[in-house]
Amino acid sequence: MTTPRLQLASITKRYPAVVANSDISMAVQPGEIHAVLGENGAGKSTLMKIIYGSVKPDEGTVTFDGQAVNLRNPQQARALGISMVFQHFSLFDTLTVAENVWLGLDKSLQLAEVARSITAKASEYGLDIDPSRPVHTLSVGEMQRVEIIRALLTNPKLLILDEPTSVLTPQAVLKLFQVLKKLSSEGCSILYISHKLHEIRELCTACTVLRGGKVTGVCNPQNESNESLSRLMIGSEPPPLKHRPVHAGAVALRVDKLSLAREDQFGVDLDGISFEVRAGEVVGIAGVSGNGQKELLYTLSGEDVRAEAAMVRVFDKPAGRLRPRARRALGLHFVPEERLGRGAVPTLGLAHNLLLTRGNAVGRGGWIRTGALERHARSIIERFNVKAGGPHAAARSLSGGNLQKFIVGREIDANPKLFIVSQPTWGVDVGAAALIRGEILALRDAAAPCSWSARSWTSCSKSATGYT
């Protein structure tokens, strides 16, 4: 019998509103790629943070390479050989890629050495990134690359990956899998969290299933089907989407020869982009991250108003110079790519995060009707099955998937005439993904044309003459 690389015994972690982990035990062998599977809010991320030393358990023991350890912080975990790629990135926006990576490495290294190492690793793993770029100029997909490269540069014995492929292209995913299999063959253990069941079945040889903070199953995913894994995870298979013939109606959004110079040296120019979205349509925009999706979304949402007014028309009204609030008055609502910081204020409760785009509970003189605000937030929490400690739970306290459900739900609840959403199912489980897609199709069917893309953005819209 080999000594497990990692062994957890009776791990329990309680928070005021929830027991995140309850009596969890599991073992990961050297060189094993071990999946941790569960629906949003099942306790996966909390458990990974305990292993990484950023959260302290209330009960239980952690053993690493046969030795009991008391991980007080991530620095101690990294010294043991544990590295982690978080679902919510831990990057400083004002620093460059190289400076961010340098923070987690041996400070005896020179910054120039770190930059060269980044370039070499990025090229080797097919995750190319410019070490000199400030992080605030990167797309979400590019930030993901930085996190993965930073982890790989530590030469870990145990690598924890929390939704590592959620914003990667299929080609990058294949390359990452090659890297992970090579690391596994060299003895590196990998804890892999993903809601993409086909990835788990292809990559992993062991799987621990969590539900409600407890272990509910252990299996070899290569002997399972997507359906059986779904049943282990959420107790059932996700409902199938119902498709129907679509008859496009009036034009809801028209982009006409949109050309816009980049705002910074690392951006992308938009050059002569033209397309239409009609009532009753779901239109997807796909592309490798960093090829103009962010710039296009900023222009459509009203965050960038440098375009000529007629280049973007919403229900035939020139909107290129309108700010987001004015576009919402026309019926356009949108969900940004970044959940924390743009989609929600991390320290504010869910109820107060409604005020970012909804004014239902704001009375005369700007007074907030707190009771109405709380009821509104609670209705969205219930409708979209958001696991949270109530309307006052801080946005940052939610799992990534549950926060995504709340933000998407906040905008769908507004009954938009035109809906634009970037990465609608990023980091959500199979059940939640089915719910979000179903709500988008229902919005299309009951109130709008709709368009969605697994890689980029979704738009829905409502005909002025009726629903299509």
CATH (domain of 274): 3.40.50.300
Q: Is residue 243 part of a domain?
A: no
In this model, does residue 169 exceed pLDDT 90? no
Q: Taking Cα atoms as reference points, which of 24, 84, 26, 25 lies closest to residue 54?
A: 84
3-state SS class at 4? coil
For residues 175 and 319, state if they share a domain: no
Helix (H) or strand (E) holding 86: none
Q: Residues 302, 360: one domain?
A: yes
167 vs 137 pLDDT, higher one: 137
Amino acid 39: pLDDT: 85
Query: Are 224 and 289 found together in one domain?
Result: no
How high is the pLDDT of residue 28? Answer: 96
Statement to judge: residues 259 and 316 lie in one domain: yes
Residues 214 and 267 in one domain: no
Asked, for residue 467, whether it belongs to a domain, the answer is no
Q: In what order do the strands lie in the sheet with 270-278?
A: 270-278, 251-260, 312-314, 317-318
Q: Is residue 245 part of a domain?
A: no
- Residue 305 forms part of a structural domain: yes
State which of 200, 234, 268 marks the end of a domain: 234
Whole-angstrom Cα distance, residue 103 to residue 113? 13
Task: Say yes or no to pLDDT of 452 above 50.
Answer: no
Asked whether residue 428 falls in the same domain as residue 292, the answer is yes
- 192 plus 55 within the same structural domain: yes
In a domain, 109, yes or no: yes
The DSSP annotation for 300-345 comes to HHTS---S-GGGEEETTEE-TT--HHHHHHTTEEEE-S-TBTTTB-
Containing domain of residue 54, as a range?
A: 6-234
Same domain, 280 and 355: yes
Cα gap 270→321, rounded to integer Å: 16
- Rounded Cα distance, 388 and 442, in Å: 25
Last residue of a domain, one of 174, 207, 234: 234
Split at pLDDT 50, 70, 90, the class of 173 is: confident
Is there a single domain that holds both residue 302 and residue 393?
yes
Q: Is residue 466 part of a domain?
A: no
φ/ψ of 286, rounded to 5, equals -120, 160
Q: Is residue 352 part of a domain?
A: yes
- Report pLDDT for 467: 24
As a whole number, mean pLDDT of residues 307-333 equals 95
- Count of domains in the chain? 2
Give the model confidence (pLDDT) of 262-303 as tens digits.
887 778 899 999 999 998 888 988 877 678 888 999 999 999
Give, in degrees to the nearest 5, the angle at Cα 11 between 431 and 166: 35
Q: Is residue 18 part of a domain?
A: yes
In a shared domain, residues 318 and 456: yes
Which pTM was predicted?
A: 0.71
User: Which contacts (CB < 8 Å, 24+ apart) does range 223-230 have?
Assistant: 225/201, 226/197, 226/198, 226/201, 229/37, 229/197, 229/200, 229/201, 230/197, 230/430, 230/431
349 and 381 co-located in one domain: yes
Q: Strand runs (DSSP E) across 81-238, as ranges?
A: 82-85, 158-162, 189-193, 206-211, 214-219
Can you tell me the distance from the alpha carbon of 355 to that of 358, in angstroms, rounded to the nearest whole number?
5
DSSP class of residue 284? -
